[in-house]
A and B are shown apart, each in its own frame.
Chain A
Amino acid sequence: EAGVVQSPRYKIIEKKQPVAFWCNPISGHNTLYWYRQNLGQGPELLIRYENEEAVDDSQLPKDRFSAERLKGVDSTLKIQPAELGDSAVYLCASSMGQGAPETQYFGPGTRLLVL
């Protein structure tokens, strides 16, 4: 079974440029998460989707960040415009959306460097 797929794996951009990350969750997983992991830190949740509905976006900086999961499968996270402090690893995770515990499976992440 394929795991969580993310692309690109690496991205280098100049500040003020836009950038987008894509995530394909594990087949059949209804819940999708985007995390940001700063260097030397643990992941922090940005947004959580239940199917196509964003149920927790309290940590998403809405002035520059946006996300969508239009058909309840793939998801895109966008930053516009990027700032130097956005350099981090952006992790996508998915879970089935039922059961206890609800195990989250992580993708390899996209490493973003903003110059």
Chain B
Amino acid sequence: GEDVEQSLFLSVREGDSSVINCTYTDSSSTYLYWYKQEPGAGLQLLTYIFSNMDMKQDQRLTVLLNKKDKHLSLRIADTQTGDSAIYFCAENMGGYNKLIFGAGTRLAVHP
């Protein structure tokens, strides 16, 4: 079935690294995505990874993909207060452009 799961909440100290985890179910997904949602706003694409890759780095963001375990993670280095938001993991179902989202992980950054 279609199910993307994420932990609901993460609290980190400013300057530390944050790691947000996600598991997905569709092995035929070709891309996996991370979106960010700030209060009252729509979703902003942060990064994506192709399913035949196991790592992608983009400035402070590192995405790790374990295809065997269907596990995806997003690491944010040097987390800042502006990173406080809800982070959504998504897979494109069956390789088509139908995104299945997790429930989101709320990241709280404290001084």
- Which A residues lie at the B interface, using CB under 8 A? 4, 31, 40-45, 48, 56, 91, 93, 95, 100-109
Contacts and interface: CB of A to CB of B under 8 A. Distances in A.
A95 B97 contact: yes
User: Sorted from nearest, which 6 A-B pairs have the closest CB atoms?
Assistant: A42-B101, A106-B42, A106-B43, A101-B31, A108-B42, A102-B97
Given A104-B99, A109-B42, A42 B104 contact: yes
B53 interface: no
Tell me whether chain B's interface is mostly helix, strand or loop, or mixed: strand
Given A40-B103, A43-B101, A101-B31, A107 B45 contact: no
B81 interface: no
A105 B90 contact: no
A43 B48 contact: no
B42 A107 contact: yes
Contacts of B41: 108-109
Interface string B85-111: 000101010000111011110000000
A44 B4 CA distance: 12
Contact of A43 (B30, B43, B92): B43
Contacts, number: 53
A104 B42 CA distance: 11
B98 A4 contact: no
A16 B106 CA distance: 34
Contacts of B40: 108
A42 B103 contact: yes
B99 to A, nearest CB: 7
A42 B4 contact: yes
Contacts of A43: 43, 88, 99, 101
A42 B102 contact: yes
A40 B9 CA distance: 11
B7 interface: no
A54 B101 CA distance: 21
A48 B44 CA distance: 19
Residue from A42, A45, A103 whose CB has the most chain B CB atoms within 10 Å: A42
Nearest to B31: A101
